[in-house]
Amino acid sequence: MLVIFGEIGIGRILLAGAGSAVAGLVIAWTVVAWLFHDYQRLTPATWRPEGPREYFLSSCVTLASGFAFAVLFAMTGSTLTSRMGHWLPAGLLFGLACFAALPLPAILSQALFVNLHRGFVAGILLNSLLFCITCGVICAVLIA
């Protein structure tokens, strides 16, 4: 088995990436497409028409994010797990740190300039938070 990032095998990274990708798709469908999608209608001039192509491309981005999250955890988060001694708090902390460092400031700064309904911004933030924390835990279980 090919080993990268110290003692972590690529199979574990791919498994964690696949788990994170599937979890990301389920979370996005539940939060964005089901719970908060109605808020899009409140700012109609902001959105492009939706269709199968857009859903497919959006799903591909989410799948790639799941695998990227696993690689990031393998590069950095596994040391957090060894320091904390248990996978659950390490995965939660890693996911929360990723959320605070990446999607939170990006989404909030864009929401200041783009005409998005506050409800939709809240949905996107919730989606990102759940995605990061879930992926952190999945990666901590499967990689650390």
The reported pTM is 0.90
More confident residue, 29 or 3: 29
Q: How far apart are CA 139 and CA 10, in angstroms?
A: 13
pLDDT beyond 70 at 12: yes
Q: H helices within the chain, ranges in order?
A: 10-28, 52-72, 78-84, 87-101, 103-113, 118-142
pLDDT beyond 90 at 68: yes
- The single-letter code of the amino acid at 7 is E
Residue pLDDT, tens place only, 99-108? 999 999 999 9
Confidence label for 78 from pLDDT (cuts 50, 70 and 90): confident
Q: How far apart are CA 26 and CA 28, in angstroms?
A: 6
Residue 95: exposure state from Cβ atoms within 10 A (0-12, 13-18, ≥19): buried
pLDDT of residue 70: 95
Mean pLDDT of 68-96: 88
Residue in the structure block whose two tokens are 């990689």? 143
